[in-house]
């Protein structure tokens, strides 16, 4: 069964990738060893305390840096140890979708009991998203619905 994860990106990096307008085929992180083929990574950031979803990244395979260089046929890729590739033909470009309305309801599978975002005055603190957070099934379904329905947000 596939798992859904929130994967935090700094806003500057997400916006730069958004401006490129290209499908997101490959990502790198020190935490992708947690994901498997078939999982979904929700690429998120926080803008002025608001949770923004930038991409729904379906994982075709998770590989090491060395394997990623071989697959990409390049050695100048991000040097993080863990890499993931999207299935051929399934990669999407980034777009901005506000998920702030879902922020209070999102739930995570957490062995430490930190199963939700702590909002202060309705705002999300991005420090809560520094590690991959595995979503519960209802939370993943809510993001799927939001992603399919919402047009890109303008800031």
Report the C-alpha gap between 121 and 6 in whole angstroms.
22
154 belongs to a structural domain: no
98 belongs to a structural domain: yes
Q: Domain total for the chain?
A: 1
91 belongs to a structural domain: yes
Q: Over the stretch 102-112, which tens digit does the pLDDT of each residue have? A: 999 999 999 99
104 belongs to a structural domain: yes
155 belongs to a structural domain: no
25 belongs to a structural domain: yes
Task: Check residue 102 and give its pLDDT.
Answer: 97
Beta-strand (E) ranges in 3-93?
Answer: 4-8, 26-29, 40-47, 50-58, 61-64, 82-85
16 belongs to a structural domain: yes
Number of CB atoms found within 10 A of residue 90's CB: 12
Q: Over the stretch 35-48, which tens digit does the pLDDT of each residue have? A: 999 999 999 999 99
Q: Over the stretch 8-60, which tens digit does the pLDDT of each residue have? A: 999 999 999 999 999 999 999 999 999 999 999 999 999 999 999 999 999 99
Tracing tokens 């078939």 back to the chain, one arrives at 38
101 belongs to a structural domain: yes
What range defines the domain where residue 62 resides? 4-149
Distances (CA, A) of 62 to 7, 54, 86, 105, 106: 14, 20, 9, 29, 25
């Amino acid at each position: 069964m596939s798992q859904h994860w929130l994967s935090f990106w700094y806003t500057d990096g997400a916006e730069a990738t958004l401006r490129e307008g290209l499908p997101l085929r490959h990502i790198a992180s020190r935490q992708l060893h947690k994901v498997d083929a078939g999982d979904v990574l929700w690429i998120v950031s926080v803008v002025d305390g608001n949770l923004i979803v930038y991409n729904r990244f379906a994982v075709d395979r998770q590989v090491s840096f060395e394997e990623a260089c071989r697959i990409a046929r390049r050695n100048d890729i991000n040097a993080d140890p863990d890499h993931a590739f999207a299935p051929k033909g399934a990669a999407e470009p980034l777009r901005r979708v506000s998920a702030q309305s879902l922020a209070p309801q999102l739930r995570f599978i957490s062995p430490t009991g930190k199963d939700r975002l702590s909002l202060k005055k309705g705002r999300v603190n991005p420090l809560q998203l520094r590690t991959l957070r595995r979503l519960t099934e209802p939370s993943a379904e809510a993001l799927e619905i939001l992603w399919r329905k919402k047009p890109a947000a303008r800031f």
